[in-house]
Every structure is written in C-alpha cells, then in structure tokens.
C-alpha cells in the first residue's frame, strides 16, 4: 500500500505526501493516509521502445503518475510502488491479488 | 500610473545558428535600441532559461551588458522556464511603470542546438516535478496525454493537423521564422510518432534565437502601449490537476491582464499563443473563452484563425514554425504583435490590427504570463 496525503480542510488526497501545504487549498492540516490500489487511467502516452506512462485517478480521487507495465492499456488498473519509488500501473488485477 | 510603451524592437532569425548566445543577444539588443532612436537605456533585463546547461555560461546578463558597452548600467537575468522572456518583460515593465527607470532594454534568448535532441529534452524536463521526472515524464509526454484526452472526445488527426498547417503557412511569410516552408496535411499525418499520439509535426522545433524590446515612459508616434499584463501559477505536478484540459493559470492570468487593460475578449484583434504542442493552441483558444471545445475544429476549418480570419492566431508561425528558443519565446511573441500593430508585418499583416495578446507558458501551463498590447 502506498502512502499519500489527506487534507483535513478540503478533504482531498494527493500523492506524494507534502511537508507544508495541501496542493489544492493551501491548508497545513494534513495527515498521512494509505492510498487505494485501484483506479482508472485518465490518459496515457506511449514512447517508442519504452513503457507507456499514464495519469491514473485512484478510487478516492487522488491522481498519480506512473509507468504502465505490459503491452495493452486497460482502463481499470491497479498500482504498485517499487522500492525505487516508481509507481507501476498494472493492468491485470490478478498480478497483485 | 504612467503609460509604458514599447518603442523599439529587434530579433534574430530563429533556427540553427552558428552564433553563440551572447552574439545573438547582442545583435537583437543593438537592433532594438537603434529602432528606439538610440534612447538612453537605464537598465537591462535578460530572459533566459538554461544558458548553464546549453552553453556552459552563467551570468549572461552581466556578459551582455559588458558586450553592449553598458559599463555601469544595472543588468539582471530572470529565469522562469519557457516564460523567461515574458517574465523579464514583466519585471522591466514594473521598473518603468513605477518610475524607477524611464527606458529599459529587455533581451531574451536561448542557444539550444549546441546539444543533441535527447540532451535538450532532458534539460527541458528539468522543469518538471521530481515525481514526474522519476516516471520519465517529459514535456512531450504531457503534450501526448492532453492530445489523447481531446481525441477521446472526437478530435481527429486531420483536425489537429490544421494547427500545424496554418502555423507553417504563416511561418512561410515570416523572414525570422525557423521554418519558412508550407507543409501538407499528408506530411503532418505521416510524420514519425514521437510520443503516441504526438507526431513530429505536432511539436515545436529546437531553436536558437534572441529577441529584444525597449520599453519606455517616453511617448513616440509609433509607440505600442503595454495595456495589460497578468501572471498566474497552477500546481507544479501537472498530473495532480483535477482536469488536464482546464488551463486554470491561463484563465487567471488572462483575467488579470484583461482587467488591467479594461478590455473584453472581443476587443482583441490577434493573438500569439504558446503552441509548443499543436494541442496547446486548441486548448488555449478554448480556455481563453474564444470558442467552446466542440466548435473549435469547425472554426479552424472556416479559417477563423488565419491571417485574414476573424481572430488570427500565431501570425508569426507560432512556436511550431517561427520557432521556440525557450527563454526567448515571450519576447518573440511581443515582437510579432508590435510589428502587426505598427502595420509593418508585410505579407502577414492583419488588417487594421489595434490590440494584440500574447500567451507565454513557463512549463505545462503551471506558470503563465499574458500580455495585452495596444496601438496608442
């Protein structure tokens, strides 16, 4: 499970966690939360000979960027953060289940 | 507050140049000061994004002041990503409107072709948020992500190509454009895919160049009034935005500039927009409130944005054809509007142009400067 930030003032979640303020409303009332693992791809881009990258909206509305693993792009995805801090966007649900 | 006018302009041809950054900057500076009737310059503001990485040189403002023989005159560089040009213009504007200086030179440029395309993309990607960088996002990545969102809603390849087609057609009429050649829809549609769905002709070139203006509290007969200027930021990590197609910083910067100029969008006769990627021109037109998303493709087809259209966009050729020497682009945009408002744009002349607008992005819409210029 990945950590993210939750703003107690505006109720939004964001990734990465932030030290000072909520990126949406500027409040400093934030706490750490566990981010959901499921979301949907908002848009993706494919570089030649490289993994596609995408913007994903997680089920709680938090938006993340990451690298798409595998050949086909599916709308509904699951995410996984590697030790290097790279968010992998996995298309088949069973990869983590 | 007193009026601030643009009284001199100068620009080097955009493209692949044999000259160093300092020579490009010195030449456009000398031309602008000469065009301003060799007015006494009180200070120099220099716009440049990355002279360190591209040329190995820091302190470019001091170097330029020295080369120009301006020993003793104040000089400073402003870095604000690809909006460094407009930011230096804005800082210079504050210095004159406040009465601190009377006449100042603004020179903005970049030397980019000294490095390979890959190195250049890497240097430009340094403007992204660290979380974007770790996922190998680049500026073209965002161009592709935004293009796909529009295509999901029905924007076709042919419709997108209208932007590049128009801007190359305009660039062919601009003696300082990087590309001075018209291209065909077929050529655009079959150009190599860079980041799917972006093709080569959806992306601005890598250009060398420098442009300069002299702004002053002096009023001259062909002075161009700086009527309004506005700036805004948006979240630095672009993926965090609620809607990638909502250019909030552009809307806010435009509101601020419009309010200061006391005009409405209907008063604007022509615009230079920041088409680093063709989709951005479309998205900016929508966010400025000119047309609704579903109306834009038809407006391109009807020639609304052509030089002889209702609201000409990027008569210079835009970033796509005029070129995008990143830190210099903001001043190239102002240069084009001044030529138009003076009636000196030759084959690109927009009939009876009185008011022009420039949109300069310093990142993927996360730092935007809008300037409104008027024939005084």
* B chain contacts of residue A23, beta-carbon cutoff 8 Å: 235, 237, 240
Is the Cβ–Cβ distance between A56 and A16 less than 8 Å?
Answer: no
Confirm or reject contact between B118 and chain A (CB < 8 A): no
Q: Do A20 and A40 share a domain, yes or no? A: no
The mean per-residue pLDDT over the stretch B36-54 comes to: 97
Which DSSP state fits A48?
T
**Whole-model pTM over 0.95:** yes
**Residues B276/B278/B280/B285 CA torsion (nearest 10 deg):** 130
What is the rounded distance in angstroms from the CA atom of residue B206 to the CA atom of residue B181? 16
Q: Do A45 and A31 share a domain, yes or no? A: no
Confirm or reject contact between B131 and chain A (CB < 8 A): yes
CB–CB of A14 and B240 under 8 A?
A: yes
Q: What is the pLDDT of residues A12-44, one digit of tens each?
A: 999 999 999 999 999 999 999 999 999 999 999
User: How many domains would you assign to chain B?
Assistant: 1
CB–CB of A45 and B148 under 8 A?
A: yes
Is the Cβ–Cβ distance between B358 and B271 less than 8 Å?
Answer: yes
Examine residue B264 and state whether it is found in any structural domain, yes or no.
Answer: no
Confirm or reject contact between A85 and chain B (CB < 8 A): yes
Task: Determine the structural domain holding residue B102 and report its residue range.
Answer: 5-115+207-216
Q: Report CA torsion sign: A25, B364, B289, B88.
A: positive
Per-residue pLDDT band at A96 (split at 50, 70, 90): very low
Q: What CATH number has the domain bearing residue A71?
A: 2.40.50.840
Task: Determine the structural domain holding residue A85 and report its residue range.
Answer: 36-97
Per-residue pLDDT band at A71 (split at 50, 70, 90): low
CB–CB of A65 and B195 under 8 A?
A: no
Of B141, B152, B241, the CB nearest to A53: B141
Q: Do A30 and A40 share a domain, yes or no? A: no
CB–CB of A15 and B136 under 8 A?
A: no
Tokens 């289940």, residue?
A: A97
Per-residue pLDDT band at B246 (split at 50, 70, 90): very high
With a pLDDT cut of 90, the percent of chain B lying above it is 98
Q: Do A51 and A84 share a domain, yes or no? A: yes
Whether residue A97 is predicted with pLDDT greater than 70 in this model: the reply is no
Q: What is the pLDDT of residues B61-83, one digit of tens each?
A: 999 999 999 999 999 999 999 99
Interface test with A, best of B145, B155, B283 (most A CBs within 10 A): B145
């Amino acid at each position: 499970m990945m950590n993210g930030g939750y703003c107690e003032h505006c109720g939004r979640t964001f990734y990465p966690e932030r030290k000072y303020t909520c990126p949406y409303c500027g409040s400093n009332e934030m706490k750490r939360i566990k981010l959901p693992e499921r979301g949907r791809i908002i848009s993706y881009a494919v570089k030649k000979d490289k993994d596609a990258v995408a913007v994903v909206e997680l089920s709680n509305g938090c938006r993340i960027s990451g690298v798409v693993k595998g050949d086909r792009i599916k709308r509904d995805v699951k995410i996984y953060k590697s030790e290097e801090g790279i968010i992998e966007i996995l298309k088949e649900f069973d990869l983590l289940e | 507050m007193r009026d601030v006018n643009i009284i001199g302009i100068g620009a080097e041809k955009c493209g692949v140049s044999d000259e160093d950054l300092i020579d490009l900057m010195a030449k456009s500076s000398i031309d602008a000061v000469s065009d301003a009737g060799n007015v006494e310059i009180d200070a120099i503001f220099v716009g440049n994004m990355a002279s360190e990485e591209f040329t190995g040189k820091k302190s470019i403002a001091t170097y330029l002041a020295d080369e120009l023989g301006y020993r003793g005159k104040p000089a400073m560089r402003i870095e604000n990503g690809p909006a460094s040009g407009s930011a230096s213009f804005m800082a210079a504007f504050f210095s004159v409107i406040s009465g601190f200086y009377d006449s100042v030179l603004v020179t903005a440029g970049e030397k980019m072709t000294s490095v390979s395309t890959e190195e250049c993309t890497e240097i430009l990607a340094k403007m992204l948020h660290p979380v974007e960088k770790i996922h190998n996002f680049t500026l073209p990545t965002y161009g592709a992500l935004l293009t796909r969102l529009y295509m999901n809603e029905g924007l076709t390849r042919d419709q997108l190509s209208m932007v590049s087609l128009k801007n190359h057609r305009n660039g062919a009429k601009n003696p300082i454009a990087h590309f001075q050649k018209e291209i065909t829809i077929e050529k655009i549609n079959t150009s190599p895919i860079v980041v799917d769905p972006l093709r080569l002709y959806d992306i601005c070139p890598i250009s060398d160049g420098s442009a300069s203006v002299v702004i002053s509290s002096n009023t001259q007969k062909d002075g161009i009034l700086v009527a309004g200027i506005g700036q805004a930021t948006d979240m630095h990590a672009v993926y965090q935005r609620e809607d990638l197609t909502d250019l909030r910083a552009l809307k806010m910067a435009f509101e601020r500039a419009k309010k200061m100029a006391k005009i409405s969008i209907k008063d604007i006769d022509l615009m230079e927009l920041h088409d680093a990627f063709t989709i951005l021109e479309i998205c900016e037109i929508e966010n400025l409130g000119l047309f609704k998303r579903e109306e834009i493709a038809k407006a391109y087809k009807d020639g609304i944005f052509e030089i002889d259209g209702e609201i000409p966009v990027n008569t210079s050729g835009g970033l796509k054809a005029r070129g995008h020497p990143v830190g210099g682009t903001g001043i190239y945009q102002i240069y084009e509007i001044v030529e138009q408002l003076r009636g000196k744009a030759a084959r690109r002349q927009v009939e009876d142009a009185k008011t022009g607008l420039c949109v300069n992005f310093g990142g993927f819409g996360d730092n935007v400067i809008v300037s409104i210029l008027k024939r005084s």
